[in-house]
């Protein structure tokens, strides 16, 4: 995985950890809505982006190999 991919995963994990700490004191319907609307969607988008980044990494490796 590329440096950008590692950073994206690490930052997403950090956000999830901070959200869990926030949820300890914010436990209402709005917190549930916030999680569904923003954080769950973000995680889905990051997962999809990671798949694309991995495909691009493989493609770039093949291009480099073919050019040598």
* DSSP assigned state of 24: T
Backbone φ/ψ region at 12: left (φ over 0), alpha (ψ -120 to 50), beta? alpha
Give the pLDDT confidence of 20-64 residue by residue, as tens digits. 999 999 999 999 999 999 999 999 999 999 999 999 999 999 999
Give 27's Cβ-side CA count (13 Å radius): 3
Q: Which residues, 6+ apart, have CB-to-CB distance to 19 below 8 Å?
A: 35, 39
Range of the domain at 28: 3-67
Give the confidence band of 4 by pLDDT, cuts at 50, 70, 90.
Answer: confident
Which of 7, 6, 34 is closest to 22 using CA atoms?
A: 34
Whole-structure pTM value: 0.78
Q: Tally the domains of the chain.
A: 1
């Amino acid at each position: 995985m590329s440096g950008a991919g590692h950073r994206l995963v690490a930052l997403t994990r950090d956000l999830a950890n901070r959200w869990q700490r926030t949820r300890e004191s914010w436990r209402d319907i709005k917190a549930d809505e916030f999680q569904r609307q923003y954080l769950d969607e973000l995680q889905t988008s990051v997962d999809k982006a990671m798949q694309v980044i991995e495909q691009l990494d493989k493609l770039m490796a093949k291009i480099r190999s073919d050019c040598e």
